Structure 1
Amino acid sequence: MNLDTFEKGTLTHLLVLVVSTVVVGLLVFAQRRVRSKDHAKADRFRLAAGIAILVFEIAHNAYWLFFREGGFNLQESLPLHFCDISGLIAAAALLLPDRRLVTILYFWGVGLSSTAFIIPVVTEGPVHLVFWTFWMSHLIIVGGAVFFVLAEGYRPEFRDLLFALAVTTGYVLCLLALNIAIGTNYGYVGKVSEPTAFLGAWPFPRLPLLFLGGALLETAAWLPFGIMSHVRTRKAPRP
């Protein structure tokens, strides 16, 4: 096992997937069990988890802003990628009782950031700090979204999907304007973007394909719940 570098499909990748699944499963099991007996205690756990995640996200973003590879780099240091914002949203969703925060976390976590577990962009191995911060940050996002569904009873509705699509579109447009202005690639919608270059030339057809792909991923995250809701409605007895 090479500990200096990381590649998808390796034993290290498999271990990351297994450990992440086990961690989320244990947290969901524990929270469901606690909430069935003591709602106040379960709420305190949510609060503690939110504070812990907030502290991690502040430290994580500070590392990228000031210390990663010699200091601030305009091309990479700003915490503007979806995973950067989603981590802060995860903390806020745990600390504040706001469905809109949970909705964005769910669709950006399950719909968008979950792809990081399948096609991760990190290349450093376990002996590097960035390996741990990358996987911890994505575990917080995707695991947090799963936690709200399995432990807290969140069920995305069609209106939640529309809200998430609107917020995602608005944020991508803001990132696109920023990238054009300062020549960066935040959100991977910049002109020079190695991870998305396979989609073709920028801006066409790459940007429309990115928008379509993101919308399809978020819709796929909602679809199982939409189907279940439709089935329950059809089975409900008529008055």
Structure 2
Amino acid sequence: MGDRFVVYGASHWVLMGLIVVGSVVLVVFGRGLSRDGVERWCRGFALVVVGFNLPLLAYRLSPWAWDLFNSLPLHLCDLAWVVAAWALWTRASAPHALLYFWGLTLTPQAIITPALDAPDFPHLDFIEFWGQHLLVIWAAAFLTWGIGLRPTWRGYWTSVVVTVAWGLAMLVFNAVAGTNYGFVSSKPDNPSLLDLMGGWPTYLAVELVVGMGAWALLTWPWTRRREPVTAA
């Protein structure tokens, strides 16, 4: 089985560094692409995201790996890779907004306080968890700072509505199935930022308020209007 993954162990630090370095490289690379190059590389990147995640999803849903509590792609991080592929392929504003907000606020939480109880590299669970999260953050950085897609207030509100609707759907599903997808029915067992937000359901309300505030701050720099400079 190998050694267990340890939070803030050697592999954890290496992967967090890889996220940062990979994001910077992709941003610099994206800024140097021609118009035709953007089209080719975005679609190629989308195929990489799908090609990595889809076989793993098929494996999780197979009879020999099926687990009601973990196999369904209902966590936001599971949906984020689908949104990443969609945003890369189309470069449309709606999927980009979701990728921007999910990829730069929610996915980093999973990176900083990973809910990963599995053997270390090269175990499949390890590769799946980190590969999925790295690709989402890299895609968000590439599309936003690399090729210049920008979030808008419309995208902000669309993302808020979609995320709240997902959370409500997970509350209903978890109540029926006895699961805890999205950690909306109880906190994860590992330490996380949710531990600072009170008990259930208080932490859900706090998370919503804090999340909306953080997303607003991430939208404002791109949307504020500069005052024209007038001659003296």
TM-score by length of 2: 0.87
Which secondary structure state, in structure 2, belongs to the residue aligned with residue 78 of structure 1?
coil
TM superposition shift of 1:65: 2.1
Which secondary structure state, in structure 2, belongs to the residue aligned with residue 184 of structure 1?
coil
TM-score by length of 1: 0.84
CA contact (8 A) 1:105 1:145 kept: yes
Question: How many Å separate the matches in 1 of 2:161 and 2:93?
Answer: 15
Question: How many Å separate the matches in 2 of 1:6 and 1:170?
Answer: 33
Runs of 4+ in 1 over 6 A off after TM superposition: none
1:55 aligns with 2:47: no
5+ long unaligned stretches in structure 2: none
Q: Deviations over 1:135-160 (max 9, x none)?
A: 11001111111111111112222232
Q: 1:217 to 1:123 in 2, by over 3 A?
A: farther
TM superposition shift of 1:25: 2.1
Of 200, 203, 208, the match for 1:202: 200
1:137 aligns with 2:127: no
Q: Which letter does structure 1 place at the counterpart of 2:203?
A: R
Match for residue 37 of structure 2? 41
C-alpha RMSD of matched pairs (Å): 2.3
Question: How many Å separate the matches in 2 of 1:101 and 1:57?
Answer: 18
Of 91, 114, 120, the match for 1:120: 114
Of 183, 188, 206, the match for 2:183: 188
Number of residue pairs matched by the alignment: 226
The structure showing larger relative contact order (alpha-carbon pairs under 8 Å, at least 6 residues apart) is 2
5+ long unaligned stretches in structure 1: none
Question: How many Å separate the matches in 2 of 1:5 and 1:161?
Answer: 39
Which secondary structure state, in structure 2, belongs to the residue aligned with residue 165 of structure 1?
helix
Question: How many Å separate the matches in 2 of 1:14 and 1:202?
Answer: 31
Match runs of 1:166-177 below 5 Å = 166-177=161-172
Of 209, 212, 215, the match for 1:215: 212
Match for residue 106 of structure 1? 100
Which secondary structure state, in structure 2, belongs to the residue aligned with residue 34 of structure 1?
coil
TM superposition shift of 1:191: 4.2
**Identity across aligned pairs (percent)?**
28
Question: How many Å separate the matches in 1 of 2:188 and 2:30?
Answer: 40
CA contact (8 A) 2:93 2:151 kept: no
Match runs of 1:149-164 below 5 Å = 149-164=144-159
Q: Which letter does structure 2 place at the counterpart of 1:123?
A: D
Q: Which letter does structure 2 place at the counterpart of 1:178?
A: F
Q: Which letter does structure 1 place at the counterpart of 2:226?
A: T
CA contact (8 A) 1:111 1:221 kept: no
Which secondary structure state, in structure 2, belongs to the residue aligned with residue 153 of structure 1?
coil
